[in-house]
Amino acid sequence: MPDNKQYKVFKIEQGTVIDHIPSPRGLAVFRLLSKNNNSLISIGLNFDSKTVGKKDLIKFEGKIISKKETDKIALIAPEATINIIKDFKVIEKRHIDIPSDIHGIIRCLNPNCITNIEKIDTIFKVVEKKPVKVMCHYCERTAEVKPDMIDKE
Amino acid sequence: MPKFKGKSIVSLKDMEKKEILHLMKKAEEVKSGKLTQVLKGKVIASLFFEPSTRTRLSFESAVLGQGGSVFGFADPGASSAKKGETLSDTIKNVMGYCDAIVMRHFIEGAARRASEISSVPVVNGGDGANQHPTQTFLDLFTMLEKKGSLDGKVIGMMGDLKYGRTIHSLAMALTHFDVKLHFISPKELNIPDHYYDYLKAKKIEYVHSTLESCGKELDFLYCTRIQKERFYDPMEYEKVAGSYKIDKTSLEYLKPDTFIMHPLPRVDEIAVDVDDDPRAVYFEQAHNGVPVRAALLGLVTGTI
Ligand SMILES: [Zn+2]
């Protein structure tokens, strides 16, 4: 398996490997997940990939990413694959699924939207999957999801 | 029969075709006098965080004419919002005193938010650049009243199709029917691209036309104003604006039964001497807001 070859480059004992992130979105994915994260992180950029051309790769030693974090990755790199590692083995291949509704996580880019005026959680409906386009439940504006719309909390 | 009682009407997206048609039927019954006093004993709050005299008067006339009572504020200066109260708190307060809330707000999504907090139905009278559903309902009502049905009808939309909320909303509503649309606008003010996708998905035929070329096909000509501020180059405005105005001469491009509509207020896009033409129905259209709003409030408060 080509994946095994890459694990030899910087193998982790346990944690999370996010692979097949289309370049150059690796650093954006990293930024989304880096807050309050003290694990050892390795980032690889511009690997050759059969499926996505050039790909980026991130490994978190000791950190199992949450469902919410998986959803964030789905929004900017739906092509990525997520493997959870224990004792140097893949114990879970997490499927990236773009949810039909997104609660929280992204903020509305419309400055005149009620979600940017009063303290309420955002709700978006996914209207297109590639690239991910969402419609705000409140102001009904539609936008393509960009990394700077996603909360880093 | 569609269930309206307790339902908030925030966006056109909240209404299915059968619900729209049911509202149209009830509005017709209110207008003809078959239904009367449909808001008897009902108290309606009218919260205008942004002034809009025409919309407010239409709603208030609808309530008072049907035996209801109305209270509220007409401009934000008089409201608690000015003193820093959140929208949520205003709604939580007001819902204790009324059977339904009509609100207009300059913030987009404000009506949706209010509807989630309120225990009584909220009717959106306009939220910023987003939705103004009762305008669309009175437009549809006028069309149905004039032609009996919308299927097979041809509608010209003229003027500012890019920024006109009324146009966008009407175009969406018309996709429930088998209509053909003619877009008559300068290229700078074409309807935004995603509406073309939507129309295609709904199999609605549309073309870009000039009034001269399509006038003889139209059942309705829906006009809107082109604002000078929409153009980078004022010269460009001067060049094009004249082609999107209606006067005695342009009336000749239309059929004897092409009805001319406009959401009002008009500035100079329809010459005053067109008003006397029997095809000019824009004031009648505005007046139809009263039975349509009365019927809608009757439906959501459960009296109809
Ligand atoms: Zn929004």
Q: Report the DSSP pairing between strands A101-103 and A81-86.
A: unpaired
| pLDDT-based confidence at residue B83 (cuts at 50, 70, 90) | low
| pLDDT-based confidence at residue B236 (cuts at 50, 70, 90) | confident
Using a CB-CB cut-off of 8 Å, the residues of chain A touching B13 are 140
Residue A20 has a CB neighbour count (10 Å cut-off) of: 19
Tell me which residue has tokens 């459960």.
B302
- Residue type, position B121, single letter: P
Note the CATH number of domain B135-286: 3.40.50.1370
ipTM of predicted assembly, 2 dp: 0.89
Q: Give the span between the Cα atoms of B174 and B169, in whole angstroms.
A: 9
Task: Locate the domains of chain B by residue range.
Answer: 12-132+289-300, 135-286
Lowest mean pLDDT among B155-164, B206-215, B237-246, B294-303: B237-246
Look up the CATH architecture of domain B12-132+289-300. 3-Layer(aba) Sandwich (3.40)
Using a CB-CB cut-off of 8 Å, the residues of chain A touching B131 are 140
Chain centroid to Cα A89, Å, comes to: 22
CA dist B8 → A142, B5, B11, B28, B55 (Å): 22, 9, 9, 21, 18
The DSSP 8-state label assigned to residue A134 in this structure reads E
pLDDT at A151: 73
Same topology for domains B12-132+289-300 and B135-286, yes or no? yes
Tell me which residue has tokens 């269930």.
B3
pLDDT at A80: 92
**Nearest CB neighbour to A139, from listed B87, B88, B109:** B109
pLDDT tens digits, B55-76? 999 999 999 999 999 999 998 7
pTM (2 d.p.): 0.88
CB within 8 Å: B113 and A138: yes
**Nearest CB neighbour to A118, from listed B13, B88, B129:** B88
| pLDDT-based confidence at residue A69 (cuts at 50, 70, 90) | confident
pLDDT at B229: 81
The SS3 assignment for A122 reads: coil
pLDDT tens digits, A3-39? 555 544 578 899 999 999 999 899 988 888 877 777 8
Look at residue B129 and tell me whether its pLDDT is greater than 50: yes
Q: For A113, which residue in chain B has the nearest alpha carbon?
A: B108
Q: Does B130 touch chain A (CB under 8 A)?
A: yes
- Cis peptide bond upstream of A131, omega within 30: yes
- Cis peptide bond upstream of B192, omega within 30: no
> Shortest Cα distance from A127 to chain B (angstroms)?
12
pLDDT at A1: 47
Contact call for residues B300 and B121 (beta carbons, < 8 A): yes
Q: Does B76 touch chain A (CB under 8 A)?
A: no
Interface residues of A toward B, Cβ cutoff 8 Å, are 110, 112-115, 117-118, 120, 136-142
Q: Give the span between the Cα atoms of B234 and B119, in whole angstroms.
A: 49
